[in-house]
A and B are shown apart, each in its own frame.
Chain A
Amino acid sequence: MPKLIVDAHRLAGPVPFDDLPVDPRPDLDRLGIARALVTHTLSLYSDAEAGNDALFALGDPRLVPVPVVVPGVPGACAPATPDAVRAWGVRMVRLCPERHRFDLTGPVALRWLAALGAGAAPGPAVAVDLDETSTAQLRTLAERLPGLRILVLNPGYRRLRALAELMAEAPGVRVETGTVNTQGGVEWLAERFGAERLVFGTGAPVADDCGPRFLLDHLGLTPRETDLIAAGSLERLLGGRP
């Protein structure tokens, strides 16, 4: 059993295609998960800014906000400027290039992301669902902004070869474990890239939390490695305990 478990990928709010819990806390309690990094569903399925407002209104330290950023020219972005993102003071933001139809490695997004890391304090890490981009795009992003800390959400189990190439070429990339769901896949990545590159996260309640949570208790890794995946790697990624 890991000492501390933090889910790096959780949703709060309603979804249009199912009847799922809008409040993640009862499931976190049931599964022994101390905290979760949370994005509001309104940001994904309605309006990014409305979702971010709802997210900040949750006001529970167990639910660490991961607001959605939409880089763009004035009038096409959310929030209005990179400075507004920095003013949030969050340690991770989420980008949805496919859903919000922007170019993750285009000049505008690169300028925004560079600006987020340009202040005296470290900028936020960025989380991107692999279904919203490609390993090639993420590799380009990491090459163009080598200081950027990237968490790949929902990597799945069918793209291990491409994911391994990305992790080999881009040391700032970390990977969420919840959907690495082929036999021994998490151990395979840990042996090659280190447990400090792997982060427990689920994507619940749309994706499953029970299986990935059970896996944490039964990994064929050392207790130290399991603790890293359960919470320690995320803490390092964010520059402190979430």
Chain B
Amino acid sequence: MILDAHGHVGTWPDFLIPDPTAGGLVAAMDRIGVTAMGISHLLAVGPDAGRGNRLALEIAERHPGRFGVWQVYNPHHRTPLSLDGVWGVKLHPDVHQCRLDDPRYDPVWELGLPVLSHGQTDSPWSDPEQFATVAARHPDVPILMGHTGLWPSGFARAARLVAGHPNVFLEVCGSKSTGRWIARLASLAGAERVVFGSDACFLDLRIGYGRVALAPLAPADRALIQGGNLARILGPRLP
């Protein structure tokens, strides 16, 4: 089973996404055998989390079993959150310009759902060190560090910083990631701490999954990274 922890639907202002649709994602998932993808709507990451979250839930309803929803929490708008029918909560400290360790995220941690947050090495908003801080405060909340810090120069540091926090998982999508780095992260952190994500439709699902599929990994490690770990994290939330 292949599970994609990090997906999106919708357009983004910085550049052209040729196929930003849920239908396009399902076609790509079918082509390469991805069972399900966790999505947040890019409108929700941007200016309107409430409406974007509703759109994501509608998409998940239209494609049963194919999409889980990461409901976006905007700390400035205090977005209403749901406990049911979602995979968890998506945070984007850089877009929202609110540090991951800011108390304005307390409603998210109190919910106790899995959290997927953008992570970016050297960012004032989402440096991996902040993941270690919030993981220590909330050891029962599974936290996926999006992009493992984004920049290859920070991957090893990111793995080191959260090594003592078993509730943090390294999610591997990003335009600068490589199959080689995914294999290295499995060695550095343990394959049970590494989770496949693609960032599609922002990025191409096939390129993202191809890094895992063709990375120099042992079959058991690949199985954990491409779905086993996320299935364990989501538990009954996964249909």
A156 — which chain B residues lie within 8 A by C-beta? 175
B176 — which chain A residues lie within 8 A by C-beta? 207
How far apart are the CA atoms of A20 and B216 in the complex, in Å? 14
8 contacts between A and B (CB under 8 A): A31-B214, A160-B18, A182-B15, A183-B17, A205-B178, A207-B176, A208-B207, A218-B210
Seen from chain B, the residues whose Cβ lies within 8 Å of a Cβ on chain A are 14-20, 24-25, 27-28, 31-32, 152-153, 175-180, 200-216
Number of chain A residues close to chain B: CB under 8 A: 34
How far apart are the CA atoms of A91 and B14 in the complex, in Å? 37
The answer to whether A182 and B203 touch across the interface, beta carbons within 8 angstroms, is yes
Q: A52 an interface residue at 8 Å Cβ cutoff?
A: no
The answer to whether B200 and A183 touch across the interface, beta carbons within 8 angstroms, is yes
- Least CB separation from A30: chain B residue: B216
The answer to whether B20 and A209 touch across the interface, beta carbons within 8 angstroms, is no
Closest 9 CB pairs of A and B: A214-B210, A210-B179, A211-B207, A210-B214, A188-B18, A184-B19, A183-B201, A208-B178, A211-B210
**In chain A, residues 135-161, which have Cβ atoms closer than 8 Å to a Cβ of chain B?**
156-161
Among A20, A184, A208: residue with most chain B CB under 10 A: A208
How far apart are the CA atoms of A184 and B208 in the complex, in Å? 13
B215 — which chain A residues lie within 8 A by C-beta? 210
- Least CB separation from B33: chain A residue: A218
How far apart are the CA atoms of A179 and B202 in the complex, in Å? 13
Least CB distance from A188 to B in Å reads 4
Contact with B along A204-238 (1 / 0, CB 8 A): 11011111111100101000000000000000000
Contact with B along A157-199 (1 / 0, CB 8 A): 1111100000000000000000111111111100000000000
- Least CB separation from B205: chain A residue: A183
A186 — which chain B residues lie within 8 A by C-beta? 204
B206 — which chain A residues lie within 8 A by C-beta? 211, 214-215, 218
B210 — which chain A residues lie within 8 A by C-beta? 210-215, 218
